[in-house]
Structure 1
Amino acid sequence: MSATAFDAIIIGSGQAGNPLATALADAGRRVVLIEENHLGGSCINYGCAPTKTLISTAERLHQLRTAATVAAPEVPNAASLRVDMAAAVARKDVVVRAMRNGTRTNLTKEHDHITVLGGHAAFTGPRTLHVALADGTTQDLTAPLVFINTGTRPAVPNVAGLAEASYLTTTELLDLQELPEHLLILGGGYIGMEFSQMFRRFGSRVTVVEAGMQLLEHEDDDACRGLQEALSQEGIEFVMGAHAHRVSRGADGQLTLSAHTSQGERRLRGTHLLVATGRQPNSDKLGLGYAGIKTDEQGYILVNNNLQTNVRGVYALGDIHPGSQFTHLAYDDYRIVRDALLHGRKRSARQRPLPYVVFTDPPMARIGLSEGQAQEQNVPYRVATMPVRTIGRAQHTSESRGFWKVLVGNDDRLLGATLLGPEAGEIMAILEVAMAGRLKYQQLQDMIFAHPTWAEGLNNVFRDLKRGGR
């Protein structure tokens, strides 16, 4: 049977694939988008949208629980408040469904040139695919342009007994209807941190087990220590330098996680286990070999600066190619490809800033170089660190945990910043704009910010710049 021809095939309905489908359709191209699971990709279905919705629920619960610090002391039973897990998940589901339905409407009802297929696609040649549809039928497709946007899934470590112990990934944990009594979290990355605080504030006992000696392995030591201290103050237990080697579940339903540590063998017991040890690419069932598409050792699809694979006409967008995995970068992948194909403007995917936020309380945000990266790259820098508690807004709100750290180059322009504290992501955005505009730090130092705002701290953070380095 001959293949149906389109102008473009997009595999995966993520934050790069969806807007690209729309842009190509608006330009008159006939586009087919194939999605094996839910429309919207990881961000809408099991990433940003559901997790941040639940984090917001946990934050409100925490505010109620701590209301006695600012309200009358007779607030009844505030300290013992626990989440209604089913209600919290139901609220999350409403948000996710609305976003998912909005995606479908945008792709199907508003664009005649877009065909959406539900099913699994695999290459049969460089630019031909076989699609096994959800209704049991199949289709063969071909196009001169193919875009792979299939994302990642949780990586599961090789730990004895783990599969038999009924562990959870973040996807399953987001749908849990009952609150875990004691949640063990394997992994101290940003996903583990966000879920640890979320479930602690819901009312669970939480223990984080991390193989390294610090959380968030790519961040500076001071930021990792500050975040760990803040989370520990809320009752989260950390077991660092712990290499898990066995998981078992007893007759009573309790889990036991055994780990080697520098202090000897540790056996940690809990009711639920979240595996948060990273992600792996959804490239293993795409038939990449039939197309001759190259990957790295982990299965990530190799691309050049323009997000093109080694096969002409085939691109890889979002988390499926090597690099940092963030929704905003995936969306920028779309813009890079859109501008190159439709507007004749080329921009390298290697030459762009990397802003990101860990949505804990206090949040941690970073843009540009960390101090450790500046040292590793032998970049001359000056550094200043300011405690959040010195900002007027912190004194008004009693939100005083954390610090701001800024790096400045020899030309007085910003190299990067690490922020731990309230509204860290919003302050980071100001610094990113300053970096994009190549402002010198003195311009921020002397800028008039409204009083009393968090941004006002930018007048003072550069005050004590000191030469940095090893």
Structure 2
Amino acid sequence: MRFDAIIIGTGQAGPSLAASMAKNGWKVAIIEKGDLGGTCVNVGCTPTKAYVASARRAFIAKNSAELGIEVNGNIQVKLKTIKERKDKIIEDSRNGLGKMLEENDHIQLIRGKGRFIDNNTVSVEGKTYKADKIFINVGAKPRIPDGFKEVDYLTNESILELEEIPEHLIIVGGGYIGLEFGQMFRRFGSKVTILDRGEQLLKKEDPEFGKAIQEIFENEGIEVRLNSECISAAINNGKIEVSVNCDESEINMQGTHLLMASGRGPNTSDLGLENTSVSLDERGYIKVNDELQTSAANIWALGDCNGQGAFTHTAYNDFQIVNSHLFEEKKRKLSDRFTCYAAFIDPPLARVGMNATEIKNAGIKAKVASRPMKKIARAKEMGETQGMLKIYIEEETGMVLGATFLGTGADEYIHTVIDQMYAGQPFTIMRDAVHIHPTVSELIPTMLENPNPIGENG
């Protein structure tokens, strides 16, 4: 069968691209081997943020005495009920997406695993499909290191199927996934131990933020072991035993459940890309140019599989970039994008652009505007004073280089800085703005009044 375009994968970028192509009169095939919606809908943003919401409710119920709210009796967490709510939200999203794809006369949804036969041909369940243009949107999967593959471990996907709260959850990995699940299950009632090989949690962030998050977690009763070389895991007396080398001393710890949160890798190993002229990097990600075109001129790669961002919002922007070159007058580019993301712990960490470490390494003269959350009136009024806000400004131009926020609501008001960076205006625009009182973000103009050279205050 011949189409104008074939899309492999129904993650964030794929269906949006299919809908746009259909609107422009193209005949489109979209291939999906699993559940519609990709990572975000099924095992990523949608389910985990539903769990985060439940975990926060449990935490508030147990920790409101200082605000004059006392709860008499036990707080019971029903993981099965939390899971059922999550499953319903996912089902609604899948059904809505399925209806959109199946009711569009220009789109054919093909179920099964797609493999390339050549640059223009894809095979699914023994049938072949051809198109002049092919778009790869296959996402990523958990990466499991050696030493753990023989153990009954959990991933960020399978842990969402549990109906009973783990007694002791050991997590290998101190990145975003490990931290979100660690805090979540601690609030559900599990004993939680987080192991990480690095010197800090969230290794891509400035050390002070990693340290602050560690303190927040330890205050909630989460055990954090850094500088941990996780050697192996085995079953001992019905429990999972993890052997760890921490600061030259070997430790064997036992838990009831093991979550592997040691990173993710692209779903490119079984696509038949060896039959095409598409090039991969050393980690298996598909190499793309500024327009997300691969080394094969008629094939594009969008979403997590291209290594240009492992987030739903970057996948959607990938759609916007490709769509602009297909159908729009204004052309978007990958190089136009500012890196931005959040870790949805509580309080959340949010980041855009460069941090202090990257600025120093680049030799850029910059200043930092800083404010601890404990000095923000609204944070004190809410009883949520953990964290800090930092904005980095280039000395010569006054342009914003980036920001890192850790604090209540940080994942929302980081967009004040993001929008400023996309506007291409100096920091003085934010400094001179009038924000609403009482809010956390009203302190953004105030903190920008007296930025200091990096090193003096951040």
TM-score by length of 2: 0.97
Corresponding residue to 1:414 among 400, 407, 429: 400
* Contact map agreement 1:147 1:315 (CA 8 A) in 2: yes
Q: Structure 2 matches for 1:229-244, cutoff 5 A? A: 229-244=215-230
Structure 2: state its 5+ residue gaps.
none
Calculate percent identity across the aligned residue pairs. Answer: 37
Deviation string for 1:110-152 (max 9, x for gaps)?
x2100001101101111101101xxxxx321000000000011
CA distance in 1, matches of 2:382, 2:417: 23
CA distance in 1, matches of 2:138, 2:193: 32
Name the structure 1 match of 2:26.
29
SS at match of 1:443: helix
* Contact map agreement 1:82 1:203 (CA 8 A) in 2: no
SS at match of 1:213: coil
Query: Displacement, 1:345?
Result: 3.3
Corresponding residue to 2:77 among 71, 78, 83: 83
* Contact map agreement 2:303 2:309 (CA 8 A) in 1: no
CA distance in 2, matches of 1:459, 1:125: 56
Correspondence 1:163 to 2:159 = no
* Contact map agreement 1:389 1:401 (CA 8 A) in 2: yes
Query: Displacement, 1:389?
Result: 1.3
Name the structure 2 match of 1:352.
337
Query: Displacement, 1:254?
Result: 1.2
CA distance in 1, matches of 2:131, 2:27: 10
Q: Structure 2 matches for 1:430-445, cutoff 5 A? A: 430-445=416-431
Corresponding residue to 1:8 among 2, 5, 8: 5
Corresponding residue to 1:53 among 27, 50, 55: 50
More displaced stretch, 141-150 vs 339-348: 339-348
Correspondence 1:205 to 2:226 = no
More displaced stretch, 177-186 vs 343-352: 343-352
Query: Displacement, 1:469?
Result: 5.8
* Contact map agreement 1:127 1:142 (CA 8 A) in 2: yes
SS at match of 2:115: strand
CA distance in 2, matches of 1:114, 1:373: 45
* Contact map agreement 2:58 2:188 (CA 8 A) in 1: yes
Correspondence 1:152 to 2:132 = no
CA distance in 2, matches of 1:343, 1:450: 37
Query: Displacement, 1:322?
Result: 2.0
Name the structure 2 match of 1:116.
109
> Partner letter of residue 91 of structure 2?
R
* Contact map agreement 1:380 1:469 (CA 8 A) in 2: no
Query: Displacement, 1:72?
Result: 4.9
Name the structure 1 match of 2:324.
339
Name the structure 1 match of 2:87.
93
SS at match of 1:447: coil
> Partner letter of residue 338 of structure 2?
P
CA distance in 1, matches of 2:447, 2:101: 46
RMSD between superposed Cα atoms in Å: 1.3
CA distance in 1, matches of 2:266, 2:321: 21
CA distance in 2, matches of 1:145, 1:345: 21
Query: Displacement, 1:466?
Result: 1.4
CA distance in 1, matches of 2:239, 2:132: 54
Q: Structure 2 matches for 1:34-433, cutoff 5 A? A: 34-73=31-70, 75-78=71-74, 81-109=75-103, 111-132=104-125, 138-159=126-147, 162-251=148-237, 253-410=238-395, 411-433=397-419
CA distance in 2, matches of 1:302, 1:439: 32
> Partner letter of residue 384 of structure 1?
A
* Contact map agreement 2:9 2:138 (CA 8 A) in 1: yes
Query: Displacement, 1:350?
Result: 2.4
More displaced stretch, 418-427 vs 453-462: 453-462
Structure 1: state its 5+ residue gaps.
133-137
* Contact map agreement 1:375 1:469 (CA 8 A) in 2: no
> Partner letter of residue 332 of structure 2?
R
Deviation string for 1:410-436 (max 9, x for gaps)?
222211110000110111101111122
Query: Displacement, 1:263?
Result: 4.3
CA distance in 1, matches of 2:152, 2:79: 20
SS at match of 2:199: coil
TM-score by length of 1: 0.95
CA distance in 1, matches of 2:69, 2:206: 40
> Partner letter of residue 350 of structure 2?
A
SS at match of 2:442: helix
CA distance in 2, matches of 1:217, 1:395: 29
CA distance in 2, matches of 1:379, 1:323: 24
CA distance in 2, matches of 1:42, 1:364: 21
**4+ residue segments displaced more than 4 Å:** none
CA distance in 2, matches of 1:265, 1:56: 37
Equivalent pairs counted in the alignment come to 455
CA distance in 1, matches of 2:443, 2:244: 43
